[in-house]
Amino acid sequence: MIPAAFEYYRPKDMAGVLSILEEHGDDARVMAGGHSLIPMMKLRMADVPHLIDLQDVGGMSDIEIGGDSIRIGAMVTQHAIIDHDALADAAPILREAALQIADPQVRYMGTVGGNVANGDPGNDMPGLMQCLDARFTVEGPDGEREIAAREFYEAAYMTAREDEEVLTAVTIPTPHGGYAYEKQKRKIGDYATAAAAVQIVKEGGTCASASIAMTNLSDTPVFSEAAGAALVGTGVDANAIKTAVAAMLGDIDPTEDNRGPVAFKKHVAGIILTRAIERAWSRA
């Protein structure tokens, strides 16, 4: 299908972006890679009279690796994450997850900012960023502010970002320990039926800390504090994993759709999370 008529803008700086957003209000939307918004426009599921392309805005495509944190510009593509060896050394779970997003063509254009900002419950990066305790930097007429990834998602396609704000960067504490991103999907390029991000720190043969989040099993990504807590202080044996999985299954709220009924999705979620925990522990 063909989208409804719209005005196209390609400003050179954030001041230009914010000026257009202020002028046109709810009628204006920003676009990063376009893989979420453009299909919705073509299907007439999104009416966007004023489309603002961020491709020419400087300073949003950088990856900065510090001693304690990593800052990723919103326009960094999934391919750039995969291709950045220093980032893979500092936070290998990012590459592992990015390699499972869609297909190479999408990854060359799809951006981190677009993936986390639009609130699609099927996207991979939101749950991953909750697992990593990321913070999102947004910029608006009143300046910059940071929002914790674990507080950003309110409902499907609804976030804590205001309409006149633009997500400009993602910052994560440098992760430590074992990691895993596990995903089950029907075919290459599909959204997950269930996906799990896990980070585990081991000390003296026991789990010192664990962070667990899952994707596409509720109308928002699900960070389960109870699931992580179930592993802490244990040797991450079968009973501990079973307890963690039960805690996560109590936190998710899947709905029936073309990926299967609720019972099937919960079954898949349990299997995927078990695999992710076991693999993260083996790497810890």
Each domain of the chain, given as residue ranges in start order, spans 7-53, 63-173, 178-283
Q: Is the pLDDT of residue 1 over 80?
A: no
pLDDT at 69: 98
* Assigned fold of 63-173: 3.30.465
pLDDT at 45: 79
Average of pLDDT values for 113-133?
Answer: 96
Which candidate, 132, 103, 105, 128, places its Cα nearest to that of 115? 128
Average of pLDDT values for 20-34?
Answer: 92
The phi, psi pair for 232, rounded to 5°, reads -65, 130
In the structure, what pLDDT confidence band is assigned to residue 44 with cuts at 50, 70 and 90? confident
pLDDT at 40: 81
**C-alpha to C-alpha distances, 51 to 37, 125, 202, 207, nearest whole angstrom:** 10, 24, 47, 48
Superfamily of domain 178-283: CO dehydrogenase flavoprotein, C-terminal domain (3.30.390.50)
Buried-exposed string 76-89: b where 16+ CB fall within 10 A, e elsewhere: bbbbbbbebeebbe
Q: Which residue has the tokens 């900002």?
A: 117
Query: Where does 181-237 have alpha helices with state H?
Result: 225-231
The span from the CA of 141 to the CA of 282, in Å, is 47
Number of other CB atoms surrounding residue 109 within 10 Å: 16
Contact 95/82 with Cβ under 8 angstroms?
yes
The span from the CA of 177 to the CA of 22, in Å, is 44
The span from the CA of 80 to the CA of 61, in Å, is 9
Average of pLDDT values for 136-150?
Answer: 97
Q: Is the pLDDT of residue 42 over 90?
A: no
- Name residue 63's beta-bridge partners: 72
CATH class of the structural domain 7-53: alpha beta
pLDDT in tens, 149-199: 999 999 999 999 998 999 999 999 999 999 999 999 998 888 999 999 999
Q: Which residue has the tokens 């495509």?
A: 61
**Both structure tokens of 173:** 């504490």
pLDDT at 253: 97
**What's the longest Cα–Cα distance across the chain?**
62
